[in-house]
Amino acid sequence: MAHPRSLAAAILAIGLSAATLPAQAQQFEIAGGVAKKHEGETTEVFSAHWLPELRRIGNATLRADIAYYRVQGRDVDDTDWELEEDVDVFGAGARYEHDNGLVLGFAIAAQHGYTDALSGDPQFISQVGWRWRALTLSVRHISNAGYESPNQGESMVMAGFRF
């Protein structure tokens, strides 16, 4: 696995160069962040998105959101939760981006891998955040909404760059 500082530097370089692109050309986003469980266990999360514009709605843009998430497994001995396996999540949905920066998103997804936090299909991905040029900061949650137990989900804080 790449060193976290090298990965962060590469993402920053891509994001800074993407900031010069016209907004309509920025259809791809990569993001990284951290997920934290209620007992304090944290892990790294990565996502990649294709965000083609569907239409303008007043002062906002509606985009399709074709997404891939990678939630790293955790080695935790002091909990009853099974969280060791890496989980890949593939989703499709929509993202609403207001010109003032507000970002709202929702997608339906399927997963590969299993933990007590991500425990069965379908998964639902929700997002609220803020976007400025090529940078997006958001809080996201992936959960199966109680469809299959256990249903803890993963809540995360992420920073993304659009290009």
Q: Is the residue at 152 inside a domain?
A: yes
Residue with tokens 């989980």: 87
Mean pLDDT per 10-residue run, the chain (163 residues)? Answer: 55 55 74 85 94 97 98 76 88 98 97 88 96 96 86 92 94
Looking at residue 1, what is its pLDDT?
A: 47
Q: Is the residue at 14 inside a domain?
A: no
CATH number of the structural domain spanning residue 132: 2.40.160.20
Range of the structural domain that residue 68 is part of: 30-77+84-162
d(CA 14, CA 163): 8
Looking at residue 57, what is its pLDDT?
A: 95
Q: For residue 52, give the nearest of 44, 62, 42, 38 by alpha carbon.
A: 62
* Total domains, the chain: 1
Q: What is the pTM of this model?
A: 0.82
H helix or E strand, kind and range, residue 15: helix 4-18
Q: Is the residue at 64 inside a domain?
A: yes
